[in-house]
Structures are given as C-alpha cells and as structure tokens.
A and B are shown apart, each in its own frame.
Chain A
Amino acid sequence: MIQSTLSPCSLIPRVLCSVMMFLSGAAVLHAAPSASVVLPALTQPASAEHHVGKVIWADLVTPDVAEAKRFYGALFGWTFREVPGDSNYSLALLNGEPLAGLFQKSQPAGQAQQPAWLTFLAVRDADTAQAAAVRLGGKVLAKSHNYPQRGRQAILADPDGAMFAVLAAQGGDPPDYLPEPGEWIWSSLFVKDPKGETEFYKGLCDYDVYDLASEGESGAQHYILSGDNYARAALNALPADSKRRRAHWLNFVRVTDVADTVQKAVGMGAHLLVEPRIDRHGGRLAVLADPSGAPFGVMEWSDTDSKQEPQ
C-alpha cells in the first residue's frame, strides 16, 4: 500500500510542492490580466499633437457599472464598449468616439470612500511627471503603468490631496475643438491653498496661470490654468464655510439645457449638489452626484462669441 510507505519526510516535499503549484498558478492567473488589457488609443488615427496640461480623459470608479451605463447613457447619449482583457472596464463613447472609462470596483467595506471621476491630464512623459509631482509635494497613488495603444499613465495626488492622473498618450492627444453636447467641456479644481497649488500644477504641466480673483465679487482665490493659449482648467479656493470640504477635481459635461438635464438626472437617481446657476461665461452650470455618488458637473456653452458676463 502506498499510504503505508509514506513517511513524514516524504510527505513534506509533496505537500510543499502542491502548495507552491497552487500559489504559482494563482499568482500567474492574478498577474495575467494586466498584460492583456487592450485600451484603444485616445485618437484614431494617431495624432501628432501634444497638449500638455489638457484634460484628455476621465475614468469613473463605481461599484455598479451597469447602473452607470444606464444613467450616463440615458442622460448624455453615451454608448459603451467592453475592452479585451478586463471585464471590469468599459469604454464610454459619444458618436463612436471614446471619451471616458467606467471601472467596476468593489467599494471598500467599512471605509468612508465614494465613487468618483478621475481626471487625466496630458503629459509628455508619465514617469517624468510622476517624479515631478513627488518633488513638488504630491504623492503617487498608482505608479506609472503602460497600456499598449493608449500610453503610459500614473495616478497622483497633489499637495492638497486632490486625486488626478497623468497620461502620456501613445497616439498623441486629441485635437482642440469646441466639445459637442455630451462631451467633457471643462474641469475645475477645488483646493485649500490655491496659490500653492498653482505652483504645483505649473511645475507639472507648465501652465500659464491667470489670477482672476479680483474680478469676482466673492474675492475667493481663483485662477485659470492655460496651455497652448487655451484655458484648460480653473483652480478655485474651497469655500471656507465648512471644514468638511476636501480638495478635488470636478469635470463638466456640455449640455444644451442645464435645468432640463438636472431634472432628468434627478429623476434617474442623481443627487443635486449645486443648483443651476449662471457662471461668468453667461451660461448655466450645476453639479450632480450620479446614483452611485460620483460628482460631476453639467454646463451650457453658447456657440456665439458673446462676452456677456453675469451681473
């Protein structure tokens, strides 16, 4: 009988061998998806353009991608496509053009964390940007990582703790044009130390910084970050009315009617965070949280060249 011939000395290597085989198999399976994730280039055909500092992508992290697809599809007309190699990641498209990613991820139990949109800034070199961010007082949340076709990206936090990502797009950056309704049109950053943050982002993306605080009646610190002679983002002081405010990026989708969009979104389970209001560009904007709690903005933008400012 075999069992009778097995001594403890011969059992140990066999058990050890089995455990190692199991571990190696599990580890290989665990590592495999990262190598096979295929994300399309941001621009097809490839663009020779590079617009450092431009917001070129956004990823939603949510515990319920199916719900997110239903919501954003109905609200903005987005369609969705799976990506090979990762069943948890889907692309959102408008008129066939990719404009965002939806990432399904379990929400950590017992921790106060919320779904969010992650803002991607264009850089020439993700590793250089990652090193610069650390040198300027930021943190690395996910080290630079390469995705064939899309490019190399890293997830960072600025000195105030606002999370964002940098992406060196392999096929070049999307060209500059006025976004259509349903596309991202603008991004704003809210921080506790606007002046200090301008230095961080200037060092990271070589922005031209415009101080517009003096034009506002509130007197709150307010800057415009520009690149290629275009406004790329706003940098605002967080309102000081509450201590429960955290530095964050906020991305806006262009819509034709903010009030209608808000009504529709709320009817589908969104929460209104900032009621429709007129901003400096003369159009309305509002801020919502999608049904999973991820904040995003909606903004009107007239095609006319009106310089009218709200009174």
Chain B
Amino acid sequence: MSKPVFRIWRVGGVGLIALLTLAACVVGGYGGDAGVGYVGGVYEPGGYEYGGWDGGYRVGPPRGGARPAGGRSAPSIPHGARGGGGHGGGGRGH
C-alpha cells in the first residue's frame, strides 16, 4: 500500500495535469483557429463561374472624371510615386 503522503502527491499530480490539459485546450481556443499558427487563409466555396461580363461591364477604377449625368464626380486611385506623398489632388475628377 502507498503511504498517504505519496497518495496526496499522486492525486495532486493528476489534478495539475488535468488543469494543464484544460488550460492548453482553452488557449488553443476558438474553432482551432489559434492552434494552427497563422489563420489568414480560408478556402472559398468551389464550383462557381467567373466572368460573364458584357461589353459595357466596368470593374476598374475611374480615371478621375467618371461622372454620371447629374451625379458626383468619382475620385480615382492615388497617382503619386512611392515616397513622394500620394496625397495632393486627391485624384478627384472634374
């Protein structure tokens, strides 16, 4: 038979390990996302089609003058060189 002091150590040890297990699982956390290192990537649903753009379909940025009749003039993308201060003019059209 084990002496009482060893039994206490054994119970304490098992309890500590159980606590460590629980804590590690909690740190691993939400849906396993934190447990796999970086979580930036997600697969998208597959089996879909792309394109189908007709002749008037536009997806690119305006040049800075695109304005529907009676509408506001949409701005364009930044035009300054890197390190040269992209702001200045704001890319807004006429």
Bound complex: CA of A289 vs CA of B25, how far in Å?
38
Bound complex: CA of A27 vs CA of B63, how far in Å?
54
Q: CB-CB < 8 A to A273: which residues of B?
A: 50-51
* Chain B 57-74 interface residues, beta-carbon cutoff 8 Å to A: 57-69, 71-72, 74
Q: CB-CB < 8 A to A86: which residues of B?
A: 37-38
Q: Is the CB of B56 within 8 A of A219?
A: yes
Q: How many residues of B are in contact with the other chain, CB < 8 A?
A: 71
Residue-wise, chain A 94-133 has the 8 Å CB interface mask toward B (1 for contact) of 0000000101010110011111101000000000000000
Q: Is the CB of A112 within 8 A of B46?
A: yes
Q: Is the CB of B50 within 8 A of A231?
A: no
Chain A's interface size range is 35 or more
Q: Is the CB of A60 within 8 A of B41?
A: yes
Q: Is the CB of A30 within 8 A of B44?
A: no
Q: Is the CB of B17 within 8 A of A176?
A: no
The CB with the most chain B CB atoms within 10 A, among A226, A231, A241, A281, is that of A231
Q: Is the CB of B60 within 8 A of A186?
A: yes
Spell out A's residues near B (CB within 8 Å). Answer: 13, 16-17, 20-21, 23-24, 27-28, 30-31, 33-34, 37, 39, 59-62, 83, 85-86, 88-89, 101, 103, 105, 107-108, 111-116, 118, 141-143, 145, 147, 153, 155, 163, 165, 175-178, 180, 185-186, 188, 210-220, 222, 224, 226, 228-231, 234, 236, 239, 241-242, 244-246, 248, 250, 252, 273-274, 277, 279-283, 285, 287, 289, 293, 295, 297, 299, 301, 305-309
Task: Contacts A17-B10, A273-B50 known; list 11 others, CB within 8 Å.
Answer: A17-B13, A24-B20, A147-B38, A178-B77, A178-B78, A212-B74, A214-B68, A224-B75, A228-B87, A229-B91, A281-B61
Spell out B's residues near A (CB within 8 Å). Answer: 10, 13-14, 17-18, 20-21, 24-25, 27-31, 33-69, 71-72, 74-87, 90-93
